[in-house]
Chain A
Amino acid sequence: MSEFILETQNLGISFGGLKAAQDVNIRIKRNQIYGLIGPNGAGKTTIFNMLTGVYKPTTGKIFLDGERIDGFAQDKINHMGIARTFQNIRLFNNMSVVRNVMVGLHNLPEYKCTVWESFFRLPGHFRAEKKMRERAKELLRIFGLEEERNNLACNLPYGKQRKLEIARALATNPKLLLLDEPAAGMNPHETEDLVKTIHFIRDNFDMTILLIEHDMKFVASLCDEITVLNFGTVLAEGDTKTALRDPEVIRAYIGG
């Protein structure tokens, strides 16, 4: 076990000539809530995409719990323990809420069932399905979505869609949860609720959380440490309060 659950070394990527991110070093300790902030186009989502294997980094290394994961396929990275949500919610819209979560449970060894077992409906199929459904319901209960479990995911209101996406990510049993602008489009009341939910996840799932956010109040009230990005490079990092007071950061946000 390494001290850091996630560690990047000189992480960088360029599209054509454009360096979307360079020399990004992030170190996240176990059970931290870590923020990644910065103005639009600073490369925050790009970093998420590198961490989850959507993009292959051009330079640098990524370590998850001491193991190198850069260059792995997305599903492999998920198996190793990183789950994420998306900036523009990506649910399986034509499936029911409970099924969305069950897709998240797909790869866990306790719900294993071979293709042959499902072709011929052997007992393994029923066992796996039953256990998955139970577990999915449990997760939905935590997020207050149990009542809506049989609705189509696309019919949920916005705030609940965000919650469902988090529930689905948690279902994959990750070590590290990446949340891409979880509070986007939420009203203050919902945001407050979200802060509680994130704390709850950290405490009850023994989770480390890395999140991207624009809402400074939200970040300040939630994150233990942050990294501030601008134009793909690290502007400031460390303890949230200190980093946010950094003159460079203030300049990047306010201009001048």
Chain B
Amino acid sequence: MKSLKRINYSHYINYVVIAVFTMVFSAISLAGGRLDSSLLFLFEKMAISIILAVSLSVVVGFLGELSLGHAGFMCVGAYMGGKLSVVLEPVLGNAVPNLLISLVAGGIVAAICGFIIGMPALRLRGDYLAIVTLAFGEIVRSIFLNSSDETFGGTLGLDTPRFDKKYLFIFAFLMVLLTLLIVQNFIRSKHGRAVTAIRDNEIAARACGINVTKYKLLAFIISAFFAGIAGVLYSFSNYTVQSASFDYNYSIEILVMVVLGGMGNINGAIVSATLITFLNTKLATVLTGDLAVLQNLIYALILIVIVIYNNAPALKSFRDTHNISLFIKKLVRSKHDPASIKDDAAKWDVVPTKIEMNEILSIDMKPQNLGSDKPSKGGDK
């Protein structure tokens, strides 16, 4: 049981932080303490963003496929879960059982959509797949937008039952914990390893007997399931579902969270989702009218600068000497030896994403590992 004893507790920091946060505020809320309704709304939004960012990073960060239709899965979940809660309201009222059933149902329907959209993922990749997911998002939106008033409310949107705000945010954070639990457990299991293997080198993964079909679909299904749950939460949080909210821009916003957090870095995704949601809300009160656009401008600039900084080949040596993880390591150097990785499990979350598209698209092939920075002859003796 040697390896069992060496559980790396740093993996569980995010659970602990969020769990403590949830407990503190639930205690305040349930003990009758007065929490500002705008604060509760902010909490709900943060929870939704975290779920979305973490679930998207399964596909983008770990499978290495670009999805531009995450809001589409969310949309399906929001409408299906929302509608179910409306149907259940006469029976169950706007109480917890209704909330839970709707959440699960919304997630499952979205997961089915994830399965369907994962199918093209088996034959397509990279840019082609990105456009298919984008198309999926638009199709979903268009279908709900043109639905009749009785089914999904059409352009007017669908009104959902008013769950008590006092406990809605608690459930939102419980869902965050559930998402983290399942996503991180999955990623750190042999199945998650298979998914990352596909990302790193699909051909080699196949040659190792990995069932690429199964794992690509699985990644899409998991990702869509939690996006669906986030959608249901969204519908309850806003008391209504409008198909217009789930447009392509929303998908991009989620993608920005994942990218800023560092692709394949779940804690990064959590932090950036929280931060962006917070800034969105705060900036919306500061920047009004035409100034509101400044916010988008800033995001666009940040996105461009960060991606270029993180990926430009010319900046590699600069990056190696100036980066946040190095900075953090310097800060905590006192106890740990920074040079050695204690257990390779510690490396799970910080693998850089690399998609071998160049290789797939170009006819000419360069041997990958014969780069000039490596000794090609006898370097290991």
Q: What residues make up the interface of A, taking CB atoms closer than 8 Å to B?
A: 52, 54, 73-75, 78-79, 83-84, 86-96, 98-99, 102-104, 106-107, 111, 113, 115, 118-121, 125-126, 128-130, 132-133, 149-150, 152, 154, 156-161, 168-169, 171-172, 185-187, 189-190
Known: A91-B201, A185-B370, A186-B377. 4 other contacts (CB 8 A): A93-B368, A94-B353, A111-B190, A118-B186
Q: Please provide the 10 A-B residue pairs with the shortest distance between their CB atoms, ordered closest to farther.
A: A118-B189, A78-B209, A157-B379, A90-B204, A92-B200, A157-B380, A96-B344, A74-B206, A88-B367, A150-B344
What are the residues of chain A within 8 A of B197 when measuring CB–CB? Answer: 92, 95, 103
A208 shortest CB reach to chain B, Å: 17
- A149 vs B208: C-alpha distance when bound (angstroms): 19
B322 at the interface (CB under 8 A from A): no
- A89 vs B203: C-alpha distance when bound (angstroms): 11
Contact of B378 among A87, A90, A130, A159 (CB under 8 A): A159
Q: Are A103 and B193 in contact (CB under 8 A)?
A: yes
Contact of A158 among B192, B354, B379 (CB under 8 A): B379
19 A-B contact pairs sorted by A residue (CB < 8 Å):
A75-B206, A78-B206, A83-B207, A87-B367, A90-B368, A91-B369, A93-B201, A94-B199, A95-B200, A102-B193, A103-B194, A115-B218, A119-B186, A120-B185, A126-B4, A129-B189, A158-B376, A160-B380, A189-B381
Q: Are A107 and B377 in contact (CB under 8 A)?
A: no
Q: Are B193 and A79 in contact (CB under 8 A)?
A: no
Q: Are B193 and A99 in contact (CB under 8 A)?
A: yes
A240 shortest CB reach to chain B, Å: 27
What are the residues of chain A within 8 A of B380 when measuring CB–CB? Answer: 156-160, 190
B100 at the interface (CB under 8 A from A): no
A53 shortest CB reach to chain B, Å: 8
Q: Are B4 and A102 in contact (CB under 8 A)?
A: no
- A233 vs B7: C-alpha distance when bound (angstroms): 56
Interface size class of B (residues with CB under 8 A): 35 or more
Contact of B208 among A78, A88, A126 (CB under 8 A): A78
- A119 vs B211: C-alpha distance when bound (angstroms): 19
Closest to B212 in A: A75
A156 shortest CB reach to chain B, Å: 8
B residues 1-38 with Cβ under 8 Å of A? 1, 3-4
B142 shortest CB reach to chain A, Å: 33
Contact of B377 among A149, A150, A185 (CB under 8 A): A185
Q: Are A89 and B367 in contact (CB under 8 A)?
A: yes
- A121 vs B191: C-alpha distance when bound (angstroms): 12
Contact with A along B338-369 (1 / 0, CB 8 A): 00010110010001111000000000011111
Q: Are A94 and B196 in contact (CB under 8 A)?
A: yes
What are the residues of chain B within 8 A of A103 when measuring CB–CB? Answer: 193-194, 197, 205, 208, 210
- A161 vs B209: C-alpha distance when bound (angstroms): 20
Q: Are A158 and B375 in contact (CB under 8 A)?
A: yes
